[in-house]
């Protein structure tokens, strides 16, 4: 009969902490995208007041579009990685159930 080794509780804890760090890093990255998007938006809003440039409307529109693209890219990136993290959470190990039985 095959004997199973007891679950390594330290390994399970280390994997759970790694998943939490990964989740926090994903959230931090999303906030970085959001912050950058807001910088471009504020630059577009304040351009006309700070500088007297001809055709400043075109530059403002370009900054607004850039802000929107960065925001959309960051949001898509966040949810893509969030889904990937959730899928990897299922594969913490086959020993997870053994850990809770002990």
pLDDT the model gives residue 85: 86
Report the alpha-carbon angle 36-40-45, nearest 5. Answer: 145
Q: Are 70 and 33 in contact (CB under 8 A)?
A: yes
Give 91's pLDDT tier (boundaries 50, 70, 90): low
How do the domains of the chain map onto residue ranges? Answer: 26-101
| Cα 67 from Cα 64, distance rounded (Å) | 5
**pLDDT tens-place string over residues 20-64:** 899 999 999 999 999 999 999 999 888 877 877 777 889 899 999
Give 93's pLDDT tier (boundaries 50, 70, 90): low
Count of all residues that appear for the chain in the document: 102
Q: Are 46 and 102 in contact (CB under 8 A)?
A: no
**pLDDT tens-place string over residues 54-67:** 778 898 999 999 99
Give 72's pLDDT tier (boundaries 50, 70, 90): very high
């Amino acid at each position: 009969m095959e004997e199973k080794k007891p679950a390594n509780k330290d390994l399970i804890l280390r994997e759970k902490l790694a998943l939490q760090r990964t989740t926090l890093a994903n959230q931090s990255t999303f906030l970085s995208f959001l912050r950058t998007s807001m910088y471009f938006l504020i630059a577009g809003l304040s351009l006309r007041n700070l500088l007297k440039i001809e055709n400043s409307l075109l530059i403002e529109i370009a900054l607004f579009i850039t802000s929107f693209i960065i925001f959309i890219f960051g949001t898509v990136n966040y949810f893509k990685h969030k889904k990937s993290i959730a899928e990897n959470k299922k594969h913490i190990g086959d020993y997870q159930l053994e850990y809770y039985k002990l």
